[in-house]
């Protein structure tokens, strides 16, 4: 059985403990980022199974039609819009999903919040350049954390905020708002109030047709001039161009991003990377040792189970 693993940018998959689950299989791992369908078709032509790293590789109907040997796609975490499930069903390709974990993503989100609010990057850059105390950040105590999406990550962030003596304000579906109230937090009375009251606003929604571009320019214009917008979920939740324009207009005052519309970003002069009030990390939310062991361990176990019949 031939297994192909694309998009291992960091060259870490073969170093994981769980990689031993694929012992005895013919495994090919690619370490670059490729989107050209002709290149992908060539690389996947002999694959019986693909193991996908989250949403890095796009598999559509046209590509599937060029992969007659493919029988299984083992997805790390849950399948998203990168994978055409209907086309998989039509071609008899089984898709095995994983479960994932909220822990690493929640911790990364909180690290971004602390870093951005205290302006640590600027202070550290100043120190390493020979300057001492070049700026003045803000504490989190007493500020309002707005959470859009009260799922596993949002719930964990609410607990972090409570430990920091922050007010927690939740927006989302009626079920999300009621769950937040049951846990002792506040639900925003309206969407407008949610954006107006949050000092730090963080997005935790799955990318679906209903959530794509759900954060509009009008929403951002309601935020405080010193507010921080954090997105570690999906870049496409925000309307195209709206964030850069809003920052240039002064509302919100800061942003911290872990996700981008095109990944990976390899251009140092990218407008999001060069903006003075945006803190960026290279999609590290789930990129952590224990998370990788869990994600890939489950995906590799699904491959073994499939192979054994």
- Whether residue 145 contacts residue 168, with contact meaning beta carbons closer than 8 Å, is answered with yes
Phi, psi of 256 (to 5 degrees): -130, 125
The DSSP H or E segment spanning 186 is strand 186-187
Terminal-residue alpha carbon distance, the chain: 12
CB-count burial class (<10 Å; 0-12, 13-18, 19+) for 5: buried
Which pairing describes strands 278-280 and 94-96: parallel, antiparallel, or unpaired? Answer: unpaired
From 54, 117, 222, 283, the catalytic residue:
283
From 54, 56, 156, 234, the catalytic residue:
234
From 263, 277, 288, 293, the catalytic residue:
263
> Degrees (nearest 5) of the Cα angle 78, 148, 245?
105
Determine the distance from the C-alpha atom of residue 194 to the mean position of all C-alpha atoms in its chain, rounded to a whole number. Answer: 22
CB-count burial class (<10 Å; 0-12, 13-18, 19+) for 236: middle
Spatial strand order in the sheet of 94-96: 26-29, 2-5, 49-52, 72-75, 94-96
Residue indicated by tokens 């031993």 = 20
Name the CA radius of gyration of the chain, rounded.
Answer: 21
- The question of whether 283 is a catalytic residue gets the answer yes
- Positions marked active-site: 234, 263, 283
């Amino acid at each position: 059985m031939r297994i192909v693993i694309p998009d291992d940018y960091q060259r870490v998959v073969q170093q994981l403990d769980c990689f031993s689950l694929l012992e005895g299989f013919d495994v090919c791992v690619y370490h670059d980022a490729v989107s050209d369908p002709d290149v992908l078709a060539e690389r996947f032509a002999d694959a019986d199974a693909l193991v996908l790293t989250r949403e890095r590789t796009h598999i559509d109907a046209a590509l599937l039609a060029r992969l007659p040997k493919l029988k299984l796609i083992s997805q790390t975490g849950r399948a998203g819009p990168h994978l055409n499930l209907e086309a998989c069903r039509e071609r008899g390709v089984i898709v095995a999903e994983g479960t994932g974990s909220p822990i690493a993503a929640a911790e990364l989100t909180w690290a971004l919040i602390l870093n951005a609010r205290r302006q640590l990057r600027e202070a550290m850059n100043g120190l390493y350049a020979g300057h001492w105390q070049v700026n003045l950040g803000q504490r989190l105590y007493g500020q309002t954390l707005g959470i859009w999406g009260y799922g596993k990550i949002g719930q964990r962030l609410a607990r972090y905020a409570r430990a920091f003596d922050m007010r927690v304000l939740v927006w989302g579906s009626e079920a999300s708002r009621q769950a937040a109230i049951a846990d002792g937090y506040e639900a925003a009375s309206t969407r407008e109030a949610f954006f107006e009251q949050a000092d730090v606003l963080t997005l935790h929604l799955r990318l679906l047709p209903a959530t794509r571009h759900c954060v509009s320019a009008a929403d951002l214009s309601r935020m405080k001039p010193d507010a921080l917008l954090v997105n570690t979920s999906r870049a496409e939740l925000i309307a195209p161009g709206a964030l850069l324009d809003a920052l240039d207009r002064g509302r919100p005052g800061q942003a911290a991003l872990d996700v981008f519309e095109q990944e990976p970003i390899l251009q140092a002069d990218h407008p999001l990377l060069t903006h003075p009030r945006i803190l960026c990390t290279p999609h590290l939310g789930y990129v952590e040792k224990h998370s990788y062991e869990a994600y890939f361990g489950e995906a590799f176990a699904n491959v073994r189970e499939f192979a054994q019949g």
